[in-house]
Amino acid sequence: MQVAYFEDAIANQLRPLCWLRPVFELVCGQSGLRERVNRSLVPSKWGGFIRSWLADAYQEEHPTALINRGDWLRSEPTLLLNGRWLPDVHQLKTLLPGDASG
């Protein structure tokens, strides 16, 4: 499975915290959403859809990430996660293709 994180229009309401990083990188506890999920699920690929002015710097910091590219999403089952959501990562392990949670 691969994981795609995305920012929605409400991400801007988290300013100034998210001016220099995607919302899924905001730390809550010891780590942010991306780090928690990637550590727990160990996706084959991961990427994100983030605000355009962050994309180049974020891509440079995370060269294996697929940033603002939609071409890879259909290559295998993909878990799409809103960057503002803080799910229970143990419950994410039980999701099957076609499941939805919110």
pTM for this model (two decimals):
0.89
Domain 2-92 has CATH 3.90.550.10: yes
Query: Per residue in 14-68, pLDDT tens?
Result: 888 888 899 999 998 889 999 999 999 999 999 999 999 999 999 999 999 999 9
Q: Which of 62, 5, 69 is nearest to 34 (CA)?
A: 5
The full set of domain ranges for the chain reads 2-92
Assigned token pair, 41 = 């699920």
pLDDT value for 89: 82
**How many whole angstroms separate alpha carbon 26 and alpha carbon 99?**
26
